[in-house]
Amino acid sequence: MGRYSKKRTQMINNHLIARGITDKRVLKTMGTVPRHLFVDEGLQDQAYSDNPLPIGSRQTISQPYIVALMTEALQLKGTEKVMEIGTGCGYQTAILAELAETVFSIERIASLAFRAQRALDSLHYYNILIRVGDGTYGWSEESPFDAIITTAGAPTIPETLKKQLAVGGKLVIPVGNRSSQTLLRVTRLSEEPNDIKIEDLCGCRFVDLIGEHGWKD
Ligand code: SAH
């Protein structure tokens, strides 16, 4: 039992189950992955509280509830190929790696990508590939993806990401203006990339998705 296992259990009960997260695999995984190892030492005591935290370069690690909600919305079973845009500290990446087959994650800020890579290596994740670059282009060589998650807020749903989604695949993405967004789940229904179903999950506030098919810096 690690020093933080009690805090993790409280996080699961008070912030996730109490607010309606039911996917057992998501709850089990978030109950085991050491979230505190993805933040600076001085912030580790706050790693399990109900809020985002700074991770450097003016970016933040998403609050536990949002990580759970976005992951649950992807309905992962364990066989999926997943793309993540916005690796940040790598915590969400680790959760995805536990719940899917492989994760392709893109981060535009190199120093964050390197730090995330180090944290994930030390926890022995071998089914994650991280790349530094503009994730709004997606990762076409590896497409199609069964699931795509964007952990930064976009002005619109990028066409590139719709195209790289498998038929039946799901894209979870915050879309709105720079100060508030709606978390959307987009399901691709057929070979035609614009044949999609869009569901609103909740209101949210993310840092900007900056890139060719996002906000301009
Ligand atoms: N899931 C991460 C979220 C970090 S915040 C975590 O919990 O730590 C969002 C991240 O998206 C930031 O690290 C930011 O640099 C990154 N980002 C923003 N625009 C991007 C883009 N076009 N491509 C790749 N990453 C991007």
Pocket test for ligand 1, best of 85, 91, 111, 172 (most atoms within 8 A of CB): 85
Ligand 1 centroid from CA 85, angstroms: 6
Residue 124 Cα, ligand 1 centroid: separation in angstroms?
22
pLDDT in tens, 51-87: 999 999 999 999 999 999 999 999 999 999 999 999 9
Dihedral-angle region of residue 204 (phi above 0 means left; psi in -120 to 50 means alpha; beta otherwise): beta
pLDDT of 187: 98
Between the CA of 1 and the centroid of ligand 1 the distance, in Å, is: 31
Residues 6+ apart with CB under 8 A from 92: 62, 67, 70, 71, 84, 149, 151
Q: Delineate the domains of the chain, giving CATH numbers in brackets.
A: 65-204 (3.40.50.150)
pLDDT of 32 reads 97
On average, the pLDDT of the chain sits at: 97
Taking the C-alpha atoms of residue 80 and residue 155, their distance in angstroms, rounded to an integer, is: 27
- Strand pairing class (181-188; 196-204): antiparallel
Query: Which of 79, 110, 111, 73 has its CA nearest to residue 92?
Result: 73
**Residue 1's pLDDT is what?**
59
Average pLDDT value for residue range 168-196: 97
CA–centroid distance, residue 162 to ligand 1 (Å): 19
pLDDT above 90 for 102: yes
Catalytic positions: 62
CB 15, CB 5: distance < 8 Å: no
Q: Which of 84, 217, 89, 211 is nearest to 150 (CA)?
A: 84
Residues with CB under 6 A from ligand 1: 55, 59-62, 85-86, 88-89, 91-92, 106-109, 112, 134-136, 151-152, 207, 209-211, 214
Counted residue by residue, the chain has a size of 217
Calculate mean pLDDT across residues 94-100. Answer: 98
